[in-house]
Amino acid sequence: MNILSLISIILFNIIFYINLKKISKIVGIYDYPDNLRKQHGQIVPPIGGIAIIFSLIIFCLVNLLISNTEIYEEFYYESDKIDFKSTFCFYFCTISLFLLGLKDDKNGLSANLRLFFFGIIFYFATLLDNQLVLKSIDIETLKIYIELENLKIFVTVFCFLVLVNSLNMYDGINLQSGSYLFLVFLFFTLKNIFPIFSILMMISLLFFLFFNYKNKIFLGNQGIYSISFIIAFFIIKNYNTKDSISVEEVYLLLFLPMLDLLRLLIVRIYKNKNPFKADRNHIHHYVNNKLGNILKTCVVNNLIAFTPLIIFTIYQSFYILVATTILYFFLIFFIKK
């Protein structure tokens, strides 16, 4: 990342958060407490995604102005030329999901309508960039290799849908999503998975976390939807080309929001409730009820989320995945009491 890009991103975020109240009035999107599910105590603008996605756009424009194409090296694996379709796919789908989230934050979209638009955008992404299609699943620790063949598009779109819904449900209290996403991009940086873009995301998330902790801003659907696609893009693109991330690492990186989604869907359906209707039965709500402190809850949740991944980097065994899954459900059973 060149100095000019870095300075531009930092300056933009400083200006954005200094003028947060003015920007909030212009955008006109607010999250109102209801003393039931939403207990934040004051009206808060859920526009954190605006700062993060505009940082990404400014980063792109600055590098175009100075003719710096090195940042897009990660987009072209098959030749030494920029893969414009892949680059276009990344920005088009990210911005499309950002706008969809903005509309959802502003007016509220039904779960079915959201699911429809997610499916269309994710399917379009697989058409634009063939390297975003999961063609196989290689479980290295078990030496199992599965060719997806005719199911590859379906499985890819399904994985996108699971991720965006998992992260959306995981976004429940201050610091929760911001800190988790920061650590995800830190993992990408350490694994050399789109490191420049991951550092950019980390810088934007640091600004967001500071003001989110002060209850001045939420990430919003526009932030969750677009960042979910960025994470999926980074993982699948790298898995299909550089192969520096394994299936096991992907599972351990995302297991907490995914298992929380699976558990809640099963419980809600069993109780004849809307599976997508928000409640306060997430793991972060249970932990926060026990600890009574958001900062402590954030630390504990991230320890739960990333400790198995750290252990796996030392002892690469499939049993770690099994143990992690079992321990999650044991943990839920004990802390919900």
Secondary structure, 3-state, 128-157: HCHHHCCCEEEEHHHCEEEECHHHHHHHHH
Alpha-carbon gap, residue 308 to 325, rounded angstroms: 10
List the chain domain ranges: 3-244
Amino acid letter for position 241? T
Cβ 209 vs Cβ 179: under 8 Å: yes
Rounded CA-CA distance 334/184 in Å is 27
Distance in angstroms (rounded) separating the CA atoms of residues 273 and 256 = 22
pLDDT at res. 337:
64
Cα dist. 191→93, 137, 186, 188 in Å? 24, 20, 9, 5
Burial 67-79 (b: 16+ CB within 10 A, else e): eeeebbebbbeee
Written as six digits, the tokens of 228 are 């979910």
Pair 175, 295: CB distance under 8 Å: yes
pLDDT tens per residue across span 245-299: 999 999 999 999 999 999 988 888 888 887 777 777 788 888 888 888 889 999 9
Residue 182 has, within 13 A of its CA and on its CB side, a CA count of 18
Residues 285-325 have pLDDT tens digits of 888 888 888 899 999 999 999 999 999 999 999 999 999 99
